[in-house]
Amino acid sequence: GDSVTQMEGPVTLSEEAFLTINCTYTATGYPSLFWYVQYPGEGLQLLLKATKADDKGSNKGFEATYRKETTSFHLEKGSVQVSDSAVYFCALGGGGYQKVTFGIGTKLQVIP
């Protein structure tokens, strides 16, 4: 079945450091790929998405590129802020309105 593997945290970075959170997936067909973010005490918010190979999703300074050849969707940000501290979930959807499968989540802590 479909699955998502992402690096386990926690990841601790200083403010303005470069962030990479690795994510790889296994799926049949051509899924859509997502990054969701969960701030403390809140629900899951869509951060960005990509629906086909070589698409780049971006939002709030975060980027991720759908790499079909390496089955990856790594999340990057050039300069993190304290307010980026949250749990980040990589996820894939089977297309259409099918369920979304989540990775385990990576906790990011940014210190001043």
Partner 1 sequence: EPEVTQTPSHQVTQMGQEVILRCVPISNHLYFYWYRQILGQKVEFLVSFYNNEISEKSEIFDDQFSVERPDGSNFTLKIRSTKLEDSAMYFCASSGGTGGSYNSPLHFGNGTRLTVT
Q: Using CB under 8 A as the criterion, which residues of the chain lie in contact with partner 1 when the complex forms?
A: 32, 34, 36, 42-46, 49, 51, 89, 93, 95-105
Smallest gap, in angstroms, from Cβ of residue 15 to partner 1? 26
| DSSP reduced 3-state for 94 | coil
Cβ-based nearer residue to partner 1, 25 or 36: 36
3-state secondary structure of 56: strand
User: Which stretch of DSSP H or E encloses residue 111?
Assistant: strand 106-111
What residues does 77 pair with on adjacent strands?
19, 62
**Between 14 and 46, CB nearer to partner 1:** 46
3-state SS class at 89: strand
Q: Which is nearer to partner 1, 84 or 88 (CB)?
A: 88
Q: What is the closest distance, in whole angstroms, from the C-beta atom of residue 19 to partner 1 in the complex?
A: 21
